[in-house]
């Protein structure tokens, strides 16, 4: 079967095919889908962090004109216990976090539903809770903040795990990783090192805040459930939703042609979708709509959990690493455990004979964290790359030269050769473009018009994942159009456009002759739009289907001709697959106020073959912009007394605006030779954010001489030296 691409579509900077309908407002998102007799749901949320609902009075709400039904744990339909406590809504009186659903009002209008929800009276039996995740005396979570601090894995248990059959166990990480050294061996290596860095770095809770809130529209037809949902993966959505209602997957249809941003928060089903389906089942023939408010999203749609990273580096006088140790604590939830995996980058980034990483969740009475753009690599590279900058200063070695000196020949974690590792090329090209060779390494040496200025660099990496479990169908229409069907997702990344280009090139036809159909679970199976896995995996399925179509039907197919094919296996498990990049930043820090601005930023990336330069650059710039937000603005502030994020709106939770973004650019290497299957592409949606915050923090040190190890970089960080 032929699977090679041909034609002149891939690599062309084609404008977004979905741009015009989005600008005109004709592209329908989940909440906007036309449905019969829509009813509107507004949730009732818990106002305690942990405990039990002992009384819930719905009388006033039910008496309000226009209210159709009020659901609580007392009358809600019973769900099948799938052990996913985040989704088992209204199944008991227990409260696991502040903001949890404890009721729902369904009414003829959203205004009536919201008003009625405010009339529901609730009495609780509060239980002691712990929502504090903070740095204590020894750089770890404080044990005196509140009673009942959840138990953490002990050092003895970590050592036992390291000495086990696979040599390494980290909660949430894959088994079978190579053996790492003991804590005693790391301490010995650090003690004998000529130079050492031993510091703690922290990242705060960060929120996805997509333009489109989390929405769901549910309607039943007998035992068939249709959900219009804002989802990054319709097949995984229905796979999670169906068992709750004792349905087979093919009894649930999920439709999501457009998603107004997700950044990982819409990878999994969240409780509002379950609530909409529960309510719709109680109202036969009527659709139930729910759209979370911006404030509700801060407790119900996930977030990047805060991390505390204890990083220790040992090196020879010239900066050659002799030891790397990273111990990470990450916040998780008692309702549902989630592990970010921030120790991952340290295991594969740089060569060192003595290596050890651990990752321990701290389970608290807080909302459930979830995936956020570049999970693990984004926060994990902050601590590692700032520590590398500190090591460069301690060794009096240029930061780029230090990274070159510690470039591994094979993957330090697996011992496998790299499928493609062009980090040094990214650093070299970026240094040329950023005029790095003329950089004076002396900190706090450039004061211009009341602003200290400095530059910094950081490496970036992200795993290169590929999913062969994707299937595409191609049909030839009587009007001469190829209809290409796959249940892929469009989350704003340009899937409509890039997949059309792949199909056109594989079929050898103009893009105008391709009509994509995506975002519907009735279409052939597609994996999620997450992990930078979507375009290359979906595209591989499309290329395979196109090759099979040509083989079966030739260059002049008859109307009605149809072929379906699955993405091929790559058979490259012997290779280590990652993308790499280099982030360069220039910052200004006001000498009087400590205000920090990113005046210039450049990202250089190695991501294989780029399908569409226009949408690729947009993804890189978007990721780097989020990196600026991570460095300077974003910080969910937990009030541990009540278990709530107090800045849960756009008034207080700051993200970058146009005024915060000055000179920002992204470029990439040309890599047509990369051994990456028929497309030659790797994922690029996430690597843009990785390393960005570290580069900014390193530039801030160069500007001021103040080493910032905690995000975000606030004014008070620099006032003592401003």
The set of catalytic residues is 686
> In the chain, count of helices (H) and strands (E)?
17, 25
Contact 46, 100 (CB under 8 A): yes
Query: What would the DSSP string read from start to end of 437-494?
Result: GG----SS--EETTEEEEEEEEEEEEE-------EEEEEE-TTSPEEEE-----SSS-
CA distance 426 to 110: 51
Confirm if 170 and 176 have CB atoms less than 8 A apart: no
Separation in Å, CA 493 to CA 16, 303, 517, 667: 10, 20, 16, 17
Backbone dihedral region of 310: left (phi > 0), alpha (psi from -120 to 50 degrees) or beta? beta
Pairing of strands 663-668, 224-229: unpaired
Which three-class secondary structure state does DSSP give residue 217? strand
Minimal CA–CA distance to 179: which of 341, 414, 416?
A: 414
Q: Which strands sit side by side in the sheet containing 471-476, from one edge to the other?
A: 514-517, 482-485, 471-476, 562-566
Report the SS3 class of residue 280. helix
What is residue 527's DSSP assignment?
-
Q: What is the C-alpha separation between 263 and 31, in angstroms, rounded? A: 19
Pair 455, 448: CB distance under 8 Å: no
Length of the chain equals 722
Identify whether the C-beta of residue 259 lies closer than 8 Å to the C-beta of residue 231: yes
Q: What angle do CA 136, 137, 140 make, to 5 degrees?
A: 45
3-state SS, residue 230: coil
């Amino acid at each position: 079967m032929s699977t090679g691409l041909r034609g002149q579509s891939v690599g062309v900077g084609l404008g977004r095919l979905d741009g015009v309908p989005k600008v005109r407002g004709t592209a329908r998102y989940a909440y906007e889908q036309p449905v019969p007799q829509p009813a509107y749901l507004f949730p009732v949320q818990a106002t305690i962090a942990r405990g039990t609902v002992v009384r819930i009075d719905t009388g006033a709400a039910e008496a309000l004109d226009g209210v159709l039904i009020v659901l609580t744990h007392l009358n809600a339909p019973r769900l099948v216990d799938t052990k996913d406590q985040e989704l088992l809504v209204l199944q008991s009186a227990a409260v696991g976090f502040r903001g949890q659903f404890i009721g729902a009002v369904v009414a003829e209008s959203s205004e009536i539903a919201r008003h009625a929800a405010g009339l529901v009276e609730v009495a609780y039996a509060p239980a002691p809770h712990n929502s504090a995740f903070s740095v204590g005396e020894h750089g770890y979570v404080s044990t005196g903040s509140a009673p009942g601090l959840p138990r953490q894995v002990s050092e003895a248990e970590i050592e036992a795990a390291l000495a086990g059959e696979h040599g390494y166990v980290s909660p949430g990480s894959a088994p079978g990783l190579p053996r790492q050294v003991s804590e005693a061996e790391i301490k010995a290596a650090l003690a004998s090192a000529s130079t050492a860095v031993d510091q703690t770095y922290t990242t705060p809770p960060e929120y996805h805040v997509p333009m489109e809130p989390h929405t769901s529209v549910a309607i039943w037809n007998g035992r068939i459930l249709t959900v219009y949902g804002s989802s990054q993966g319709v097949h995984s959505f229905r796979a999670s939703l169906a068992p709750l209602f004792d349905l087979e997957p093919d009894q649930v249809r999920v439709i999501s042609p457009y998603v107004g941003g997700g950044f990982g928060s819409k990878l999994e089903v969240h409780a509002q979708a379950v609530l909409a389906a529960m309510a719709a089942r109680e109202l036969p023939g009527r659709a139930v709509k729910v759209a979370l408010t911006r404030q509700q999203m801060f407790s119900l749609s996930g977030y990047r959990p805060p991390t505390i990273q204890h990083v220790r580096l040992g090196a020879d006088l010239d900066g050659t690493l002799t030891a790397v140790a990273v111990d990470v604590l990450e916040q998780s939830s008692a309702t549902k455990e989630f592990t970010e995996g921030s120790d991952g980058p340290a295991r594969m980034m740089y060569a060192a004979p003595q290596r050890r990483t651990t990752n321990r969740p701290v389970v608290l009475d807080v909302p459930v964290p979830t995936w956020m753009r570049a999970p693990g690599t984004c926060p994990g590279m902050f601590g590692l790359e700032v520590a590398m900058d500190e090591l460069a200063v301690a060794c009096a070695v240029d930061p780029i030269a230090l990274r070159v000196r510690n470039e591994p020949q094979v993957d330090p974690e697996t011992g496998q050769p790299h499928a493609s590792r062009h980090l040094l090329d990214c650093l070299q090209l970026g240094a040329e473009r950023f005029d790095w060779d003329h950089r004076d390494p002396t900190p706090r040496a450039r004061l211009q018009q009341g602003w200290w200025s400095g530059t910094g660099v950081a490496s970036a990496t992200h795993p290169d994942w590929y999913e062969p479990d994707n299937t595409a169908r191609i049909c030839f229409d009587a009007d001469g159009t190829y209809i290409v069907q796959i249940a892929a997702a469009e989350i704003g990344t340009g899937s409509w456009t890039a997949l059309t280009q792949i199909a056109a090139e594989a079929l050898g036809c103009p893009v105008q002759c391709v009509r994509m159909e995506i975002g519907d679970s009735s279409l052939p199976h597609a994996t999620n739009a997450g992990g930078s896995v979507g375009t290359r995996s979906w595209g591989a399925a499309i290329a395979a289907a196109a090759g099979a179509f040509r083989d079966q039907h030739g260059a002049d197919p008859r109307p009605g001709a149809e072929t379906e094919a699955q993405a091929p296996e790559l058979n490259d498990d012997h290779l280590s697959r990652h993308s790499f990049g280099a982030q360069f930043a220039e910052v200004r820090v006001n000498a009087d106020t400590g205000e920090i601005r990113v005046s210039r930023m450049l990202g250089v990336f190695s991501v294989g073959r780029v399908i569409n330069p226009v949408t690729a650059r947009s993804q890189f710039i978007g990721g780097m912009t989020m990196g600026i937000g991570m460095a300077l603005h974003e910080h969910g502030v937990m009030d541990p007394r009540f278990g709530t994020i107090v800045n849960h709106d756009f008034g207080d939770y700051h993200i970058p605006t146009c005024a915060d973004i000055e000179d920002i650019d992204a470029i990439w290497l040309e890599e047509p030779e990369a051994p990456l299957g028929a497309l030659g592409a790797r994922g690029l949606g996430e690597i843009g954010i990785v390393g960005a915050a570290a580069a900014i923090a390193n530039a801030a040190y160069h500007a001021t001489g103040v080493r910032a190890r905690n995000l975000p970089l606030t004014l008070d960080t620099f006032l003592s030296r401003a």
